[in-house]
Structure formats: C-alpha cells, structure tokens
C-alpha cells in the first residue's frame, strides 16, 4: 500500500509542477511577441492614415475577420472590398495606446488597445476639428503567427464615443 501512496504522491508532484509552471517564455521572447503584435496594429493604422487601403487586407489571415459598427467582413477579399470603399480624399489620424497583450501561446495572442480617430474628407490643407467625425473606442484583436510573422485572425472595432446623428426633436402635442 505504501508503494501506491508514494507513486500517487510522486505523480501529484509531477502534475502540480506542470500546473504551476512559470511562464514558458523568456522575458525576451515575451517582449518580442508583444512588440510584433503592437507593430501589426500600428501598421493597420498607418495604412489607413496614408490611404494605403489596398494593403490592409494583407494584415489579416486568409479567413480572418474585421468587425465594426458598419458590419462584419470575413476573409481577405471581403475585408479588401470593405476598405476599397473609403473615399480617396479621406485623411485620418489614428492614435492607438494602452495595449494589453495576453500571450495565449507562441502562435496566438489576444490584444486590446484604445484608439482615437480624427477624420476629414478635405483632400489638402488643415481641416477644422469642429464638425469633423471623431471616434474613440477599443480594438479587440486575435493575432496569429505564421511563417512570415504576425497577422490578425480577427479585429473588432468597438466604438464607444463618436459623432452620432442628432436625435429628432420631440413634437409637442396640444392638449384639448
């Protein structure tokens, strides 16, 4: 009986060691993964801000998805079509910050970041901030690693603040 108790205790120690294992990545590996995923998000903003809409779909997995208030698009072709509809004169500035990167494995990362976007359809010059659409929210990303690097498996654009259509004026009803 003591043999089986000792065996069970030994197995428990081995299993416990695996369950309580330290982060399997070196600090350098973790930093590299985090930086690569943040860079992916920066590249997305850069392509939008510089009008390189045709390059955005290349940042997504072949079956990847992009979702916003405008709808959900799945696959590179649908994503490319969605961004090809942007007006040619549109200029934007994205400010992306507060990245929270959660490494799920060496090939899967979940990341949440906050963004603010300023937009104008004025082709040149300085646009007034007054009356310009502004969006503030968060990106919720799933990033996957492939041979060539990190790409989005999914990106959800959760808008929290934005310019909305004014509410209709309430009509007064006269009492009789």
Residue 121: per-residue pLDDT:
85
CA 71 vs. chain centroid, Å, equals 15
Which helix (H) or strand (E) covers residue 8, if one does?
helix 2-19
Residue 168: per-residue pLDDT:
67
Residue 14: per-residue pLDDT:
42
Residue of 116, 119, 118 whose CA lies nearest to 157: 116
Domain boundaries, the chain: 25-162
Q: Which residues of the chain have pLDDT under 70?
A: 1-23, 133, 165-176
- Fold entry, domain 25-162: Nuclear Transport Factor 2; Chain: A, (3.10.450)
DSSP-derived secondary structure for 26-83:
-HHHHHHHHHHHHHHHHHHHHHHHTT-GGGGGGGEEEEEEEEETTEEEESHHHHHHHH
Residue 58: per-residue pLDDT:
97
Residue 126: per-residue pLDDT:
92
Q: What is the rounded CA–CA span in Å between residue 135 and residue 45? A: 13
Residue of 103, 93, 117 whose CA lies nearest to 37: 103
Q: Rounded to whole angstroms, what are the CA distances from 41 to 16, 50, 80? A: 37, 14, 17
């Amino acid at each position: 009986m003591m043999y089986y108790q000792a065996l069970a205790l030994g197995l428990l120690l081995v299993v416990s060691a695996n369950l309580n294992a330290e982060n399997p990545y070196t600090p350098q590996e973790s930093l590299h993964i985090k930086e690569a995923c943040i860079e992916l998000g920066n590249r997305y903003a850069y392509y939008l801000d510089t009008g390189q809409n045709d390059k955005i779909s290349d940042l997504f997995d072949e079956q990847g998805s992009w979702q916003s208030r405008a709808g959900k698009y799945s696959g590179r072709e649908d994503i490319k079509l969605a961004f090809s509809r942007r007006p040619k004169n549109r200029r934007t500035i994205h400010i992306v910050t507060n990245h929270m990167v959660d490494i799920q494995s060496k090939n899967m990362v979940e990341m949440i970041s906050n963004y603010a976007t300023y937009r104008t359809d004025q082709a040149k010059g300085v646009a007034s901030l007054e009356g310009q659409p502004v969006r503030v929210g968060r990106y919720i990303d799933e990033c996957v690693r492939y041979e060539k690097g990190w790409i989005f498996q999914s990106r959800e654009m959760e808008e929290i603040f934005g310019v909305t259509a004014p509410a209709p004026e309430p009509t007064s009803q006269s009492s009789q």
